[in-house]
Chains A and B, each alone.
Chain A
Amino acid sequence: MADWWSYSLEDFLLFSPRVYWRMFALHNEAVWPLHLAALPIGLTLVWWTARPRPWSGRVVAVALALVWAWVAWSFLWSRYATINWAAPWLAGGFALQALLLLGLGAFGAGMPRVVPPSVPRVIGWALLLHGLLLHPFTGMIAGHPPAAAELFGIAPDPTAIATLGLAVLMTGGTAAWVVMVIPLGWCAVSWATLHTMGGPEGAIPATAAVLAVAGRAWPTTNARKPL
């Protein structure tokens, strides 16, 4: 593969912005009314994160695993792959993330919410709530139709951003970093795609990734304690 060096980022942008955003509209239409299930799942994650129980960290991890597996299959494998030959590899990454979360829920402590220092707490909640509630509106602000809105559990960006929020809020330094690797990688891919298309939306996954790393690496991280 010695020839890969000769390609630039633009060479891998295979589609136009019009095709890309229409894809989300087509996907929303195809999977409707599963949006009605995705939102309650997201709000349940918020509830268990805000009001943790001894078992809730595991349930959060397993629920999130199901969401990642669904997005891997329904969006990346079945939809995005029709315009991007790299999408099956991305779907593999999402499937691996689902397995990681499933393993964390089944054999580890899951994603227990903690009382972190103030800055990580703000960042974690901001990312989580953005992914669940605000992200669909950012596309509209950028001029895309409501039908093309990207929703948690349906589209990859809000799913990855909400997951980063939960990872910033959780205990277990090593496990949290492991859980963050693939969402951070996706944010990089999404930023590259959106940036190359020339739209301002690329700033969202890029900012989310930077904030997540900053929140997780905050100097007082060692003070994180389980409830």
Chain B
Amino acid sequence: MLRTTLRSLFARKLRLVLSALAIVLGVGFVTGTLVLTDTLNRTFNNLFSDIDKNTSVKIRAKSNLADTGADQSSGASGGSGRPVPASLLGPVRAVPGVAEAEGTVQGFAVLTERPAPPVAGQPPRQAPILSNENAPPIGVAFNASTLSPLHVDSGTPPAAAGDIAVDRGTFDQKKLRLGQNLAVATQSGLSDVRLVGTFRFGSSNNLAGATLIAFTPPDAQRLLLQPGQLTDITVGAAPGVTQEELQSRIAAVVPPEYETLTGKQIIKENADSLAKGLGSFSTFLQAFGYISLFVGAFIISNTFSMLIAQRVRELALLRALGASKRQVRRSVIVEALLVGVVGSTLGLAFGFGVAVLLKALLGAFGVELPAGGVVFAPRTVLVAYVIGTVTTLLAALGPAIRAARVPPIAAMRDVEMSPTGNLRNRTLSGATLLAAGVALILLGFGVQGSGALGIVGGGAAAVFLGVATLSPLISRPVIKVIGAPFASGFGTVGRLSQENARRNPRRTSSTAAALMIGLALVSAFSVFGTSIKTSIRDLFGESLKADFIVTGGGFNQQPFSPELAGQLRRLPDVSAVSQLRFAQVTIDGTKANVNAVNPEGLTDVLNLQREEGRFDLAGQNMLVSSKVLADKKWKVGQTVTVRWAETGDRPFQIAGTFQQNQLAGEYVVPLSAYDANVTTKLDSIVLVKAATPAALPAVRSAITQALVPYPNLDVRDQKEFVADNARQIDQILGLVTALLTFAIVIATFGIINTLLLSVVERTREIGLLRAVGLQRRQTRVMIRLEAIMIAVYGGVLGLAVGSFFGWALTHAFTKESEFGSFHYPFVQLFIFLLVSGVLGVLAAIIPAWRASRINVLQAIATT
């Protein structure tokens, strides 16, 4: 029996390859992301261990908030972010067992070209930015201690005021020269500097692509913090002193607002926060891998069904010769197992390629990874084989059961294995699945936390299965409608295609189902994205009264000196300027973000609608959104406790409430309250209102001029600001769509597979058509039109399901944030339908060619 299975398997190499392909792509995607995450994890962990390998103890300001961890995006280490006084260095150095202790200074610093001298008659321009804008721009103090991860590579270390060194990666990439005059934008504004050397970071050229600038320690303190301040203190132990011993000795001399950590703890903290970050990145990517596998399962199931339909006589003969049902079933299962194993093996190899590709993709976005081989964990291999073979086996289960039902008598008759499934059962099970899926999705969106993703994902899978189950019931009428223009436009050929697409509803449906999944997800995100984008336009537009918004973009969105706001206030024709600062705090025990603003002119720049109380931002007053007030069951006039990272608990009284406002957020406090609790007093956004509409151009050019010393900042009017925010949504949508393309490609392979098998099945029929005069070209058109109809049918189903998903997603998001409304992107979705038609044309190329090459005589003469 096994030999028969193998024989029939190898006799159909093409079909084997095509059905294995679905598995190869799916497994490849999943393993690729695993390999990539493992690789990233190891290289970064190596890097971090390398950086802190000589650190025995680190001293930093303690945070009053639990679970702040290391914030990778700003490059700052954990703790409250409050600086450590340099005066602490002396007592620490005096502790016995301390071999060396150095202050670390780290902050935001953007490397730019020297600004060009102003040209008469031309508006002044900002200097071009040299730092990698896809990574946080970091400035540090250079010290030659063994504790520093910086190693001079060429030139000299920065020694005189105004000297800087940059990382080797940026130096090479931007083709800088030693001795070159450059500039650096920091929170203190723009400073002229001279490039004197380059360095390596640990053993790599730079820190994952981020541009690093090293200053002399006094320059670093002046530009990045304040003179006499340090970010933290790193201590190296004398020989024979353990990290823990040294930690307890230092802890005894350090004031209680500072904490001491051992080198091991620091490395672990970094690794943990990295694993957390990479974990969600990996989950995100893997989700697309599993979608691909799910799509692949439909294709495999369909392929096996068709192969069995074509082998009915062979199977019946086996049964007539005495093979039991079990043996027949097992032969199909063994076949699936082999396909699964072969597919998984190839998928594993393909996954390696995917990982390399994704790594290159990250590189293209400026995230340069430290050198190091690709990590192939045993777990990856295991996952590949498990998901590959299990998916194939599950997909082949139905066909295997049907194969076993072939009666021996079928060997004597020319019967076509027609599915004998009960219509009522199909309707019932399909509707049940669909209803369960919809319920799960709606439930999942209501659930908070990590379980939600699983519930929604399971619900989506159930909806897909439900629609796929019900689809054979509606495919005939729907394709009648879809095919109508073709049937009238292409005459008999069109009509033949339409009939072919309608004749086997199950087959058409499961082929279309694969495409449905891909298109449903793409259109769901399109509906969601469009709704969110429209909401952003409406809400950002509605929340602002200011004419101009001054802020940085991307990783340059770093706080800047309040001097700028002062400068802007002095400009003529400016009626109001408001500074916005953000802080993470806990309020009554839950995490929250507070916005600090200038009380004066607040309602001139923000469209803040009063709901209750007074807009009085004096002293320890606070305004909250009416939604928060209702959710927390607070009352106006009540006092709540805000816990700040640096200073701890402070009481704030709720003075009033405002209606939902995108920029104001949930909690608004006066700027003075922020300043009292945060050491680094920098602005994140400055809002400017012009005195009259006529003054707008003049005010804008004046702001532009004021921004010349701030190359990392931009001025935007309301429209531009809203458009930029909407563009970010487009970028995310673009990425998601690109990743979903994978599933759509697999679905297209499914159409190719089905059509090829159909052409083989219909050899005699096509031969007859050719005999009675169908031209080769007409034959190709016939197959092509059939493919288009199947693909468009899949597209129609996909759009229907996707519209629901998109609505549910938007609805859940709206409920969550009281933000947004439902908008339906008709044009975009129509384009998706056209795209699915094009996919049909592409999928038909090979099958159509095969069909047109059928030997007429052989096709009809074989009786």
Verify that A and B bind, or say they do not. no
> Which residues of B are interface residues toward A (Cβ below 8 A)?
none
> Which residues of A are interface residues toward B (Cβ below 8 A)?
none
